[in-house]
Amino acid sequence: MDTDTSTMTRFRFGKSLVVAIDGPSGSGKSSVSRETARRLHAAYLDTGAMYRAVTLHCLEKGVDLTDAGSVERATRELDLSISTRPDTEAVLVSGIDVTDAIREPRVTRAVSAVATTLGARSELIRRQRQIIADSHHRIVAEGRDITTVVAPDAEVRILLTASEEARLRRRGDQLGGTQTAEQLKQQVLARDARDSSVVNFHQAANGVVTVDSSDLDFEQTVTAVLDVVRTVAHH
């Protein structure tokens, strides 16, 4: 199927095209979603970056991450700005650029505490829905609960998955070989186990198309996702 950039850039132009992509850690959803947005000439939303920004803020301000009320309050009060341009990765908290800081290991270790605080989740879901509306409904949004909670009415809903082995390998490559096998398992599998206590991102809900990237390279995965977009949202 022909899914090159030139044909997909104008696909469904003038009509709503929300592409919701969920998946576990290391499935490649961020890089694949960003490139999909680029080729669709759409906005891009990394919802995970929003959870990380809240986590960093809590760590910096000494908010007790085990106190749900405090975490929810910090989330509601947070001055958070996130770029939705696929070519510009920028996360600002109170006007300060935290794009790199939110990827630090201390944030990765703590982010599930925010992600499993239901009050914080509901506030971020509210903000994510607003961002989708502000994009004129032409956006690729990715995370854990986009297909089921944030945008269940999206024109295209995809679960991007991969085998445990592939996910560990990719995360290891992404971190430049700086982590031991045990550290990688902690980062990828342990975090997934914690997050899955509040949201199921391992099995596709009804109407959600699964794309398994275990044996696909990056370009093949993007093509597979664009194929789903065209097939599901062709009318």
Question: Tens digits of per-residue pLDDT, 127-168?
Answer: 999 999 999 889 999 999 999 999 999 999 999 998 888 888
The two three-digit tokens of residue 137, written as one number = 């409904």
pLDDT-derived band of residue 28, with 50, 70 and 90 as boundaries? confident
Round to whole Å and give the CA distance between 19 and 196: 22
Question: Tens digits of per-residue pLDDT, 32-84?
Answer: 999 999 999 999 999 999 999 999 999 999 999 999 999 999 999 999 999 99
pLDDT-derived band of residue 2, with 50, 70 and 90 as boundaries? very low
What percent of the chain stands above pLDDT 90? 66
Q: Quote the longest CA-to-CA distance of the chain.
A: 52
pLDDT-derived band of residue 197, with 50, 70 and 90 as boundaries? low
Model confidence, pTM = 0.88
In the sheet with 138-143, reading across from the earlier edge strand, the strands are 43-46, 138-143, 17-22, 156-161, 209-212
Q: How many CA atoms lie within 13 A of 38 on its CB side?
A: 13
pLDDT, greater one: 202 or 94: 94
What CATH number has the domain spanning 18-232? 3.40.50.300
